[in-house]
């Protein structure tokens, strides 16, 4: 992502990368180590996105948004809203009500977080992105304060009776992201 972003030109096409990661904790630039409550043998990687600590693992879809924001004529806050709305719309397809929270990026179902968001903007181009918990082992979240919030519960689409694999969720979420970006751009 960093190399792709650093080597972009005005002609470089925007890309969405859909991935699943092996178990890993990531700590954002301003991340505070005290939000890592105990060592459970999962590697910790310090990365250059915003936000605190989160967990990525199998059964969670991560979509990296490699976008030229000036070309799309959208601002960072609009991008964050578009990403959150794409997750909200995906869940609404399955009659699940989700919401965003002021000052706490991501998407929530009730009191539990289902999607985390962390971006980095360099030379007007975004990278990093959004993670959606689909069908995964949620216990590694117990060893951290997810996104810096003590006691924050996490949830996944499987718990909401949404019958998607991580791959399927990634494909559907990417379609919702493209729709939102078209709305923002149009």
Per-residue pLDDT tens for 57-70?
Answer: 999 999 999 999 99
64 labeled binding residue: no
Q: Torsions phi, psi of 76, nearest 5? A: -60, -45
What is the domain partition of the chain in residue ranges? 2-185
- Residues catalogued as catalytic: 147
Per-residue pLDDT tens for 89-144?
Answer: 999 999 999 999 988 889 999 999 999 999 999 999 999 999 999 999 999 999 99
57 labeled binding residue: no
**CATH classification code of 2-185:** 3.30.930.10
Question: Residue 84 burial by CB count (10 A; 0-12/13-18/19+): exposed, middle or buried?
Answer: buried
55 labeled binding residue: yes
């Amino acid at each position: 992502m960093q190399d792709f972003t650093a080597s972009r030109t005005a002609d470089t096409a925007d890309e969405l990368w859909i991935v699943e990661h092996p178990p890993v904790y990531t700590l954002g630039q301003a991340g505070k180590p005290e939000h890592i409550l105990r060592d459970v043998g999962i590697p910790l990687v310090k990365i250059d996105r915003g936000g605190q600590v989160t967990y990525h693992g199998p059964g969670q879809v991560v979509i990296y948004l490699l976008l030229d924001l000036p070309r799309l004529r959208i601002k960072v806050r609009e991008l964050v809203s578009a990403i959150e709305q794409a997750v909200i719309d995906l869940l609404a397809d399955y009659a699940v009500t989700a919401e965003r929270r002021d000052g706490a990026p991501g998407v929530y179902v009730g009191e539990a977080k289902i999607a985390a968001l962390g971006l980095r903007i360099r030379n007007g181009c975004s990278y990093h992105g959004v993670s959606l918990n689909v069908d995964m082992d949620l216990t590694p979240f117990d060893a951290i304060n997810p996104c810096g919030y003590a006691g924050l519960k996490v949830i996944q689409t499987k718990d909401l009776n949404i019958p998607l694999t991580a791959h399927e969720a990634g494909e559907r979420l990417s379609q919702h992201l493209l729709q939102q970006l078209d709305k923002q751009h149009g």
